[in-house]
């Protein structure tokens, strides 16, 4: 049996202040479904993925509205669609006048007694292939993706193991993310987003450095609400 979740992620491209303008409403100008890594359907019109920008621009030009509007796109991605394809079309959308992307990701979320069928293997291979193309510092993970990969790896038959992607040794559940000695040694990179956690509670950066400066920590690269984050997990002595 297949178990899917349509994860609704709203990706805001412009500041929220735009919504505060008089008579401004959110209007969906297109529903885009990524059918494969090369083909999409825009309002059920099938076109090559690399023509998304041209198609969306034309739709925006022809869109009729009663007043000022806040254009949005609903983007649907199935479990076998690669991260590269999703990032490709998001980049094309961002280069238009669209202000909001409603990303709906269909993923397998029931990991107990999972049936290892071709849909499952397609998602498994797609994720591992994508991670393998990235440099270590660019690998960020969704927790659900990690749980899914671990469950599939544990439940695959011998033949499935040898016919599909090899489980990478760099994944966090294979090789534990190392514990760092002291928070005082952490160098904040200005181009990255950080989330500080202590005893499963999120705390502000200032509070972390004020109260836990000499505490050990673990750095985890995660994707939270479709944003790449450096998760700083402070360890209690």
Q: Could you list the residue range(s) of the whole structural domain that residue 39 is in?
A: 4-108
Position 92 in a domain: yes
pLDDT tens for each residue of 148-174: 899 999 999 999 999 999 999 999 999
Instruction: Look at residues 82, 108, 134 and tell me which one is the last residue of a structural domain.
Output: 108
Q: What are the percentages of helix, strand and coil residues in the chain, rounded to 5?
A: 35, 30, 35
Query: What is the pLDDT at residue 78?
Result: 79
Position 164 in a domain: no
Position 88 in a domain: yes
Position 38 in a domain: yes
Mean pLDDT of the chain: 85
pLDDT tens for each residue of 107-130: 666 556 667 888 888 888 989 999
Total structural domains in the chain? Answer: 2
Query: What is the pLDDT at residue 111?
Result: 59
pLDDT tens for each residue of 7-51: 555 555 555 444 445 556 778 889 999 998 899 999 999 999 999
Position 29 in a domain: yes
How far is 186 from 50, CA to CA, in rounded Å? 40
Q: Are residues 19 and 104 in the same domain?
A: yes
pTM score, two decimals? 0.71
Instruction: Look at residues 108, 143, 158 and tell me which one is the last residue of a structural domain.
Output: 108
Instruction: Look at residues 108, 130, 152 and tell me which one is the last residue of a structural domain.
Output: 108
Give 132-136's long-range contacts (Cβ < 8 A, gap of 24+). 132/165, 132/168, 133/84, 136/170
Helix (H) or strand (E) holding 78: none
């Amino acid at each position: 049996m297949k178990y899917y979740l349509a994860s609704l992620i709203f990706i805001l491209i412009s500041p929220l202040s735009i919504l505060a303008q008089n008579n401004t409403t959110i209007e969906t100008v297109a529903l885009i479904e990524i059918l494969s890594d090369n083909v999409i359907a825009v309002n059920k019109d099938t076109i090559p993925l690399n023509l998304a920008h041209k198609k969306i621009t034309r739709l925006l030009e022809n869109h009729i509205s009663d007043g000022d509007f806040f254009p949005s796109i609903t983007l649907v991605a199935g479990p076998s669609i690669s991260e590269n394809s999703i990032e490709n079309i998001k980049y094309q959308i961002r280069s238009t006048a669209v202000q909001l992307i409603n990303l709906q990701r269909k993923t397998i979320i029931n990991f107990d007694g999972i049936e290892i069928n071709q849909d499952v293997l397609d998602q498994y291979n797609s994720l591992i292939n994508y991670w393998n193309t990235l440099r270590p510092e660019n690998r960020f993970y969704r927790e659900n993706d990690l749980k899914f990969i671990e469950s599939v790896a544990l439940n695959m038959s011998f033949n499935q193991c040898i016919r599909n992607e090899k489980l990478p040794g760099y994944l966090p559940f294979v090789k534990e993310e190392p514990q760092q000695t002291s928070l005082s040694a952490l160098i904040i990179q200005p181009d990255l987003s950080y989330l500080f956690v202590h005893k499963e509670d999120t705390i502000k950066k200032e509070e972390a450095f004020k109260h836990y400066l000499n505490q050990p920590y673990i750095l985890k690269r995660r994707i939270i609400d479709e944003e790449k984050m450096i998760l700083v997990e402070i360890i209690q002595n």
